[in-house]
Homo-oligomer: A and B are copies of this chain.
Amino acid sequence: MDSGKVNDVGILAMDIYFPPTCVQQEALEAHDGASKGKYTIGLGQECMAFCTEVEDVISMSLTVVTSLLEKYQIDPKQIGRLEVGSETVIDKSKSIKTWIMQIFEESGNTDVEGVDSTNACYGGTAALFNCVNWVESSSWDGRYGLVVCTDSAVYAEGPARPTGGAAAIAMLIGPNAPISFESKFRGTHMTHVYDFYKPNLASEYPVVDGKLSQTCYLMALDSCYKRFCSKFEKFEGKQFSISDADYFVFHSPYNKLVQKSFARLYFNDYLRNSSVVEKDAREKLEQFSNLTGDESYQSRELEKVSQQVSKPLYDVKVQPSTLLPKQIGNMYTASIYAAFASVIHNKYSTLMGQRIVMFSYGSGLSSTMFSFKLQDGQHPFNISNIASVLNVSEKLEKRHVISPENFVETLKLMEHRYGAKGFETSKDTSLLSPGTFYLVNVDSMYRRYYAKKDTEEEATSAKSLSCKNSSLANGH
């Protein structure tokens, strides 16, 4: 073991890609005949990104990885591990990672460890932990790790449909990172539940029990927070409270649950007699202090009061993380890292020395609370450069708003395309930016071919990549 050689292992660089096509929640509300404010206030969502027929989790991964390597000028040969977190299954055996390998094979690098990690929205966090552990392990070969979170969240018609979304995030992993793990403070909670799952293999849509899933999420949050606090106290010798972190970033299926979650942490701090809860708030929460755990998850009154008293802290410590999840929707594995990217986008100039607590949740269920310490890095691996590569404002501004009718039609088409073979897509790339990968066709053997939208010259090179694979697949 190369003991002690690596320090501050964490995230060196990030990039995000989301489809340029989106539907406004307010318009969707009206289209669905839902009561006004049901999606925008009830769920707390503003807009929802979705893949049209030319994009999927593989194309988004190819796009974001290519972009990250280019923007931070990383030679593909410098990547020694690549892990993908996803719950969007296009193939049940072949990992998404192997499709991304096309980028590395081009440069002659096939020596890249890692595969896909799966458990609902938690897979990206599992992939991230795996990459960090690799860098700290005796098998590390000195190269970078790369984590990709990629998902397309779509739901059958009904109350869950507005909680969709789509995005891919890439994160470069290595030592001396500006975003490093405080790896001793980690609280994990995993159990067997059926809150959200995908047992209907022929359908892209999940089976979801919304109410159960919300309760499971909050129970997991409580359990992880308890463990996180106890580890903090063990190693730091003092009690942890929400005042010890500058930001809290939650997995965000929809914003309303994030509001409830922070209120729940605040209520936990109240129960733990933390001084962060002031006299006024303490008086208002006292009436709930004798509720059993189960009662407390069901109490609407507690939910309301705790959100109200924690609101000022929410605005400071949580609101900066909500931009992308509100604008894009649930991105499953990418959601929590899109929320984290929102903090970087909003606060990049003031993050040095700060602590960010993350809560990752995947139904089924897996959950972990962990924390990052932010520090100065060296260009290109510093916070302000990461903010500039993420380029959140421009990416949001360049989107195209699609009508609810068009959105519903697209989902209908995709229902037929899911698991299908022998078709060509429209190849309509008019809404895509140059550099975006798109699906061209799926042949009679289910093999998928992608191309890259770009200048004439680059388009030819992308074509030849897909031809090479075609010839490999047929050649033997």
Contacts and interface: CB of A to CB of B under 8 A. Distances in A.
Contacts of A112: 188, 190
A469 B7 CA distance: 43
A193 interface: yes
B89 A191 contact: no
Nearest to A364: B94
A387 interface: no
Interface of A: 1, 3-4, 6-7, 9, 87, 89-95, 97-99, 101-102, 105, 110-120, 122-123, 126, 129-130, 132-134, 136-139, 181, 183-184, 186-194, 196-202, 206-207, 209, 211-212, 215-216, 223, 227, 362-366, 368, 418-419, 421, 445-447, 469, 472-473, 476
Given A1-B4, A6-B1, A133-B134, A186 B139 contact: yes
A207 B212 CA distance: 37
A123 B469 CA distance: 23
A115 B418 contact: no
Main secondary structure of the interface of A (DSSP, over half): loop
Contacts of A98: 119, 190-193, 364-366
Q: How many chain copies?
A: 2
A114 B113 CA distance: 17
Contacts of A132: 137, 139
A126 B194 CA distance: 26
Contacts of A365: 98
B201 A89 contact: yes
A452 to B, nearest CB: 15
A117 B120 contact: no
B419 A199 contact: yes
